[in-house]
A and B are shown apart, each in its own frame.
Chain A
Amino acid sequence: MFYKETGQFKSRYKDELAAFPLFEDKIGIGILGVLTFLVIPLFGLPGLNYEFAMGAIMIPCMIFIIMTLGLNILLGFAGQISLGTGAFSGVGAYAFYKFITIFPDINIIIALVLSGLVSAVVGVIFGLPSLKIKGFYLIVATLAAQFFLTWAFIRVAWLYNYNASGAIEGPNKEMFGIIMIGPQSAGMTRYYFVLVTLIVLTWLASNVIRGRIGRSWMMIRDMDIAAELIGIRPLVAKLSAFAFSSFYIGIAGALMVFFWLGAAEAESFDINHSFLYLFMVIIGGLGSITGSYMGAIFVWVVPVLIKEVGKSVFGFDAFVMENFSTILLGAMIIIILILEPHGLARLWQITKQKLRLWPFPY
């Protein structure tokens, strides 16, 4: 990096255990904060239409980061593979919908936390097979969750209040006098709400991961036999990972429908979405919070940008660009995984290592 830890001595363990022990890191985070809280809401992203930048890039990106964080906790930190992410996000979305329609006066934050908890419970139930099976077999078990839940989203009409369209739709709903969700809500309020949620959830996740519970997940991931000998109960460690991960995924699902799409049907939670989130985690880097950010941004933004550039610069047809961006993204994923199987986070780490010595390689 352009800076080093040289000269920054810590005399207390507490300082060393801080999230950003280096002074320069704190500056970097401050700059990011100013960018996301002031610059982007005011001016949008450079070279892009403001509405487009907010609605098609910033908000979905942040929601997908929460989703990726959730899946990364399960896959990257606890080592349990799941293909049910899409369905678990659906559980969060439908739960949120039921909470705000059954209790119209409920506070949005409370509804969001509750729907995360509902998703966590469902995650634990479908995580039970992980106690007995591992690897590929666990994938199949979570696949069952995926298919069963999307089936339920269509067949159980109670979930979408028996409406004719079969979709869940956000009614106008306010918090502290500001309309937060629904057709009349402003993009700006939703942006800030999602941004704050993302920051809070990232902070909580990084705390848990660095503490006792996070270590118990990594122990199970790296060597479950040794973990058990140190006194970790596999049952507790695995199911808590499923719960925590599904909590995040559920919240992300609710945010996705009510703070971004506005309305959704069961197909927003299908297996293709599970794969998309899995790509984000793997490309970003397993077991890394920075990686979750990078993966979600990369997988979401690159195709959008390719489409935009193709349309506005080369004047291609939107349909052609749609396919072209899929092909290009696929190729990039393969190239990245060949060059660096540990994802963008590791690539970033290596770059930082190299920059420490730059311009003298030895």
Chain B
Amino acid sequence: MNEKAPKIMMEVKNINLRFGGVVAIQGVSFDIHEGEIRAIIGPNGAGKSSMLNVINGFYHPQEGEIWFDGQKRPSMEPYEVAKTGIARTFQNIALFKGMTTIENVMTGRQLQMNKNIFWQMLRYGPAIEEEVQHRKRCEEIIDFLEINHIRKTPVGSLPYGLQKRVELARALAMEPNLLLLDEPMAGMNVEEKQDMSRFIVEVNEEFGTTIALIEHDMAVVMDLADRVVVLDYGKLLADGTPKEVQSNQAVIDAYLGVPH
């Protein structure tokens, strides 16, 4: 954690997102500092995943600005956002089911690979060198996440916890500046949660990757996050360190309910 003069990596300003008459996000602004773990929490339907989708370029908000690396970002498609160094994992796993673990991780390297179709067809010289070079990087990530043993297993047949880990590996293979994790620990048992938490902290500390995560397990959030954003019904409820948020009356009300 960097206490003095944090650099703002991403800032969303006054985002409004509507689907027809349904208001999903209403005037939400917050920022993400470089190198921090930023948690986004809130009850179901609060607009957390929609927020990630806005950052990702899946949804285009009707109003609001996104600033990334000190510049205002124009409206972008997801594949353009990927090029700016933003990777993410999904709430319900979105792996490539027909491919093995190593192939899935290799897909994260797509953007860094650029040999054209003729080299690809020959798979010789530059093309195979490129393949080997990226394979090495992927193997390092696989080592790091301790999934060596399932390297050649088709991901469809893996247990849930491991699939989540492969998805993280794929996102890490992109070597992102900003990593978005959508409920990385949903549906895991305690042990798997511990493993995943350890990986998230290590990614943050060793690679210096900025992480924004959505999570429902409050114990995990309070432990991991440097700062927390709370959303409810598409509105910003609170923003601050875990301690501040924990003692915020509006947050407690939103989670526990208030007598009317």
Which residues of A pack against B, CB within 8 Å?
A: 12-14, 17, 204, 207-208, 210-216, 218-219, 221-223, 225-234, 240, 287
Chain B contacts of A219 at CB under 8 A? 96, 107, 110
The reply to whether B131 and A211 contact each other, CB–CB distance below 8 Å, is yes
CB closest chain-A residue, reference B111: A231
Chain B contacts of A212 at CB under 8 A? 110, 113, 115, 120, 130-131
Most chain B CB atoms below 10 A, which of A14, A229, A231, A232: A229
How far, in angstroms, from A233 to B77 measured CA to CA in the complex?
9
The reply to whether B110 and A218 contact each other, CB–CB distance below 8 Å, is no
How far, in angstroms, from A13 to B131 measured CA to CA in the complex?
9
Given contacts A212-B113, A223-B95, contact A231 B120 (CB under 8 A): no
Chain A CB within 8 A of B73 CB = no
How far, in angstroms, from A305 to B214 measured CA to CA in the complex?
62
Which candidate, B42-50, B97-105, B205-213, is the interface stretch facing chain A?
B97-105
Given contacts A212-B115, A222-B97, A223-B94, contact A230 B107 (CB under 8 A): yes
Given contacts A228-B78, A231-B110, contact A207 B123 (CB under 8 A): yes
Q: Which of B90-142 contact A (CB under 8 A)?
A: 90, 94-99, 103, 106-108, 110-111, 113, 115, 117, 120-123, 127-128, 130-132, 135-136, 139
B interface residues, how many (CB within 8 angstroms): 40
The reply to whether B106 and A215 contact each other, CB–CB distance below 8 Å, is yes
The reply to whether A17 and B131 contact each other, CB–CB distance below 8 Å, is yes
Given contacts A13-B135, A216-B110, contact A211 B127 (CB under 8 A): yes
Chain A contacts of B113 at CB under 8 A? 212
Q: Which of B57-113 contact A (CB under 8 A)?
A: 58, 77-79, 81-83, 87-88, 90, 94-99, 103, 106-108, 110-111, 113
Chain A CB within 8 A of B39 CB = no
**Additional pairs, 7, CB under 8 Å, beyond known A207-B122, A208-B123, A215-B107:** A212-B130, A215-B110, A219-B96, A222-B98, A223-B94, A230-B107, A230-B111
Chain A CB within 8 A of B174 CB = yes
Given contacts A226-B90, A230-B82, contact A215 B103 (CB under 8 A): yes
The reply to whether A228 and B79 contact each other, CB–CB distance below 8 Å, is yes
How far, in angstroms, from A213 to B107 measured CA to CA in the complex?
10
The reply to whether A231 and B82 contact each other, CB–CB distance below 8 Å, is yes
Chain B contacts of A222 at CB under 8 A? 95-99
The reply to whether A223 and B128 contact each other, CB–CB distance below 8 Å, is no
How far, in angstroms, from A214 to B123 measured CA to CA in the complex?
12
